[in-house]
Amino acid sequence: MIDTATVWDRCLNDLRYHVKDNVFTMWLRPLSAHQEAQTLIILAPNDYFVTYIRKNHLADIHQLVTKHSQGSIEEVVVRVDNANRSTTSTSDSGYQESGSLFVENELVENKPSPPLTNPVNDRAQNRVQDDNNKADIHTDRQHTALIDSTETKSLSYLNPDFTFETFVTGKSNNLAYKACYELGKRQSKNRHNPLFIYGHSGLGKTHLMHSVAHRYLRNNQSFYYFTSEKFINQLVYSLRNNKIEDFKKKIKKVDLLIVDDIHVLAGKTKSSNEFLTLFADFTSGDKQLILASDRHPSQMTEFDERFRSRFSWGLTVAIDPPEIDTRVQILQKKAAWYGMTLPKECALFIAQNVVSNVRRLEGALNQVFANANLTGAPITLEMVQYALKDIVAMRVQAVNMDNIRKVVAEYYDVTVKDIMGRKRTRSIARPRQIAMALARELTGDSFPEIGQSFGGRDHTTVMHACDKVAQLRAADPAFDKDYKTLSLMLQAA
């Protein structure tokens, strides 16, 4: 039998070649491990390490441990080293992370009871365990629930940190926040059904949907939360085992149904048709349906008109990338949550260099805190600049004249030669003006410098282009959205 030290050494050796060197040095090398029965206990320096490892590497570690222990180790748990403390902490809603699709025969109330734990690999969360289609509770943290056999209520995966109180609002997400907050009120009369939230990945759609679910639990109301993949898995299982009516019957018992990434249902005829029957049930009476996608229903051309029209029945709200003030607030709020102090000039530097989504903001913040933890250095602007030098370098590399022209040309289906040329047809002149305006905004180069880089044009031509683009952005929301999209594509770090 291979000893624990050898198993862990082999896992680290494999991980070294699957992650970046700085990630391995910062996050994985400080870890140690020992075995308890059939469980590998990974010891981390502090709570921050534990959170990071669970979120980013636990699934890969579990797979490697299973491989190198030849199956003798079945579970992997991450803990703080030398911390003899209770792990029965709960969130305001009384729940911690769980990966189950749903748990049958549980009455969930807004007060905690003794915890139930069963750590497993996240990748196994969607397995169906028995012929009765019951899902185990899979968790790498503590999970609390009050069981009452007299009534059936649901318990789906909920991130305890995704609440209205932890959500940072701004112009980019305020309408979506207000719509979800209204749904969370027990006696709200301003309900929109379905509520359809759309926006690119990492902007907070899932955070808002979990926030509504937390409120429902506090009000002793039931819900199901599904990613589209897990929803499809359950449908397929039920169809194959002639249990589709039982599955739908269970779903219809709850007050709230949430389906994330609904666009993934496109092209799956049977699953889509079964979903339509649930749609009808949850858009009538006192029930509520929340859907999320990466784009507006009208742009979901993979679906036929039946679906697109139904998705638009209620309220459709967008979440856009956060503006810089909101990004700064997000960073400072996350820092406070971790018990760290992030000076405003440091938050501003991060916000200026990471613009695409909240997830990447958090990744940059993680990197800064990791440097602070490992070096013991205070968080200063100089330290943050050093910690994020690779991110800044990638951004600088992307934001240059050549790349601006290339990205704009591809976006508008013209050639770089056209943009550099003298043609004045609108289909070419407009992308050229946008490229000039983006160059002025993102590079900070002078009007004469930009003019020279665009085929030796006069600086007044560049000034006119910038003014024209500003006017069009103010007058045409679609044009403004295209401009913002191009800006994000160029700045994404």
Q: Indicate if the pLDDT at residue 150 is higher than 60.
A: no
311 with 421, same domain: the answer is no
In a domain, residue 102? The reply is no
- Asked whether the predicted pLDDT for residue 115 surpasses 50, the reply is no
DSSP 161-198: T-SGGGPPP-TTTHHHHHHHHHHTSTT-S---SSEEEE
Q: In what order do the strands lie in the sheet with 315-318?
A: 223-227, 256-260, 288-293, 195-198, 315-318
- Is the same domain home to 241 and 128? yes
Cα first-last separation, the chain: 45
pLDDT at 72: 87
Residue 116: inside a domain: no
146 pLDDT more than 50: no
Asked if 43 contacts 109 with a C-beta cutoff of 8 angstroms, the reply is no
What are φ and ψ of residue 225, in 5° steps? -115, 125
State the CATH number of the domain containing residue 405.
1.10.1750.10
pLDDT of residue 91: 33
Say yes or no: 23 and 8 in one domain: yes
Residue range 264-290, pLDDT digits in tens: 777 777 777 878 888 888 887 788 899
Structural domain ending residue among the three candidates 387, 415, 432: 387
Q: What is the pLDDT of residue 197?
A: 93
C-beta separation of 164 from 211 below 8 A: yes
How far apart are the C-alpha atoms of 96 and 136, rounded to whole Å?
Answer: 15
Is 19 contained in some domain? yes
Residue 18, amino acid? H
Of 18, 49, 47, nearest to 31 (Cα)?
A: 49
Same domain for 311 and 329, yes or no, is no
Report pLDDT for 470.
Answer: 93
Average pLDDT over the chain, rounded to whole?
76
Given a cut of 80, is residue 378 above it in pLDDT? Answer: yes
The total number of residues written for the chain in this structure? 493
- Are 198 and 296 members of one domain? yes
Residue 62, pLDDT above cutoff 50: yes
Residue 91 lies in a domain: no
Same domain, 250 and 127: yes
The whole-angstrom separation of Cα 87 and Cα 303 is 46
User: Does residue 105 sit within a domain?
Assistant: no
User: Is 466 a residue whose pLDDT tops 90?
Assistant: yes
For residues 176 and 248, state if they share a domain.
Answer: yes
CATH number where 363 lies: 1.10.8.60
Residue 350, in any domain of the structure: yes
Domain boundary among the residues 49, 80, 111 is at 80
The CATH number for 241's domain is 3.40.50.300
Task: Please name every residue paired with 39 in a beta bridge, in sequence order, or none if there are none.
Answer: 36, 75
Considering the domain architecture, whether residues 379 and 447 belong to the same structural domain is answered as no
In the numeric block, which tokens belong to residue 160? Answer: 């305890």
Residues 35 and 127 reside in one and the same domain = no
CA distances from 392 to 220, 387, 439, 442 (A): 47, 10, 17, 13
SS3 content of the chain, % helix, strand, coil (to 5): 50, 10, 40
pTM higher than 0.75 for the full model? Answer: no
- The answer to whether residues 313 and 212 belong to one domain is yes
Residues 246 and 288 in one domain: yes
Instruction: Determine contact, residues 226/322, Cβ cutoff 8 Å.
Output: no
Confidence of residue 1 (pLDDT cuts 50, 70, 90): low
Strands 39-44 and 32-36: antiparallel
Percentage with pLDDT > 90 across the chain: 12
100 occurs within a structural domain = no
The yes-or-no verdict on residue 490 having pLDDT over 80 is no
462 has a pLDDT exceeding 70? yes
Write down the pLDDT at residue 397.
64
Residues 58 and 192 in one domain: no
Report residue 386 as tokens.
Answer: 């050093």
Sign of CA dihedral 335, 336, 342, 345: positive
Q: Dump pLDDT digits (tens) for 334-348.
A: 888 777 788 888 888
Pick the last residue of a domain from 362, 387, 412: 387
Q: What would the mean pLDDT of 385-401 be, rounded to a whole number?
A: 75
**What domain range includes position 372?**
324-387
What's the mean pLDDT in 388-406? 77
Q: Which residues contact 141 (CB under 8 A, 6 or more apart)?
A: 54, 87, 96, 97
Give the DSSP per-residue string, 371-426. Answer: HHHHH-----HHHHHHHTHHHHHHHHHHSSHHHHHHHHHHHTT--HHHHHS----H
pLDDT band at 122 (very low <50, low <70, confident <90, very high): very low
Listed residue (474, 163, 177) closest to 319, CA to CA: 177
- The answer to the question of residue 115 being in a domain is no
Pairwise pLDDT comparison (50 vs 117), residue with the higher score: 50
Domain CATH code at residue 47: 3.30.300.180
Residue 141: the pLDDT is 28
User: How many domains does the structure of the chain reveal?
Assistant: 4
Report residue 175's pLDDT band, with 50, 70 and 90 as the boundaries: very high
